[in-house]
Structure 1
Amino acid sequence: EFGEELRADAVLQRKLNSLPNVRVLKMAQTTEVKGDGQKVNGLVYKDRTSEEMHSVELEGIFVQIGLLPNSEWLKGTLELSCFGEIIVDAKGQTSIPGVFAAGDVTTVPYKQIVIAVGEGAKASLSAFDHLIRSSAPA
């Protein structure tokens, strides 16, 4: 964790802390991911409190960029949640008819690539359906 505290749900933190093979590092700034050309085998990080460098041997990493959606530029146009996520319905439709959104910037739960890809496909199909229905003669 780059900061002083974990920000995950309390239930997830309890589970994490109960695992015997986990050590939680806080105030850690990753500076290097090491590998042998085929796979990851280590990580170097700086302790942000002491400025000391540390190396950890490991067999894999999970990269998480951040928790805040990049939606600041949409304020005042689309309806956003209190967390800044674009509010969408089951088809990816936003508060503006004909405007669709998908991915981690939306209110869809489980911010994972596989979810975002599926939501992107759904939103694009919904946009196509919207265009066909709105441009078809009566």
Structure 2
Amino acid sequence: VIGGGNSGIEAAIDLAGITAHVTVLEFDTRLRADEVLQRKARSLTNVDIITSAQTTEVLGDGNRVTGLNYTDRESGEAKTISLAGIFVQIGLVPNTEFLKGVVDLSPRGEIEIGPRGETSLPGVFAAGDVTTTPFKQIVIAVGSGATAALGAFDYLIRQPLVNADTAAPVETKETQAA
């Protein structure tokens, strides 16, 4: 696992339960994950944590990953780890800069959403890792996409019909009866 923040350490803890060995590589001199996650990871006998590690190369045999090269940032020494898979969990800043002042964003820049994927701007819905949804996983993003799509559909069917040419409300059986 490359990355020692919450995402990286959570991934290491999860992987430790299904694989023989997990190595965490962190660029910084210390992990950034919450202390409770660090304690859990350090308590696992099949998890090693290496700090001050700058990943430099992914190795493979043409069919699969076989290892990883990194530089020890303190000593400058080049090192190699044999492995069967790599999970990059370095975190990303959400690409929401263009939405500042349009919809409410969290302090981390994530789009704040309600239970139906709705944002603070009526008619605008959001889903996936760019939102305040707590778990950044593909399966969660797919589910939140379905939720936002259904939320948008529900929002749209409840809007009054408008004539596209005149922008005037369209007469329906319901509005005629009222």
Counterpart residue type for residue 128 of structure 1: F
CA RMSD in angstroms, aligned pairs only: 1.9
Measure the CA separation in 2 of the matches of 1:54 and 1:73. Answer: 41
Measure the CA separation in 2 of the matches of 1:61 and 1:17. Answer: 19
Give the number of the structure whose alpha-carbon radius of gyration is greater.
2
Are 2:98 and 1:77 aligned? no
**In structure 1, what is the equivalent of residue 139 of structure 2?**
114
**In structure 2, what is the equivalent of residue 93 of structure 1?**
118
**In structure 2, what is the equivalent of residue 37 of structure 1?**
62
Question: Cα distance, 1:67 vs. partner?
Answer: 4.4
**In structure 1, what is the equivalent of residue 43 of structure 2?**
18
Measure the CA separation in 2 of the matches of 1:65 and 1:16. Answer: 17
**In structure 1, what is the equivalent of residue 153 of structure 2?**
128
TM-score by length of 2: 0.69
Measure the CA separation in 1 of the matches of 2:160 and 2:57. Answer: 52
Measure the CA separation in 1 of the matches of 2:69 and 2:119. Answer: 42
- Structure 1 gap ranges (5+): none
Measure the CA separation in 1 of the matches of 2:32 and 2:96. Answer: 20
Secondary structure at 2:63's aligned position in 1?
A: coil
Counterpart residue type for residue 22 of structure 1: V
Secondary structure at 1:33's aligned position in 2?
A: strand
Measure the CA separation in 2 of the matches of 1:43 and 1:121. Answer: 37
Secondary structure at 1:80's aligned position in 2?
A: coil
> Structure 1 vs Structure 2: percent identity of aligned residues?
62
Aligned residue pair count: 138
Secondary structure at 2:49's aligned position in 1?
A: coil
Which structure's relative contact order is higher, taking Cα pairs within 8 Å and 6+ residues apart? Answer: 2
Question: Cα distance, 1:65 vs. partner?
Answer: 4.1
Measure the CA separation in 1 of the matches of 2:95 and 2:59. Answer: 29
Measure the CA separation in 1 of the matches of 2:51 and 2:45. Answer: 18
Secondary structure at 2:50's aligned position in 1?
A: coil
Moved >3 Å (runs of 4+): 135-138
Are 2:82 and 1:57 aligned? yes
- Structure 2 gap ranges (5+): 1-25, 162-171
Measure the CA separation in 1 of the matches of 2:43 and 2:27. Answer: 21
Higher mean displacement: 63-72 or 122-131: 63-72
Measure the CA separation in 2 of the matches of 1:5 and 1:113. Answer: 28
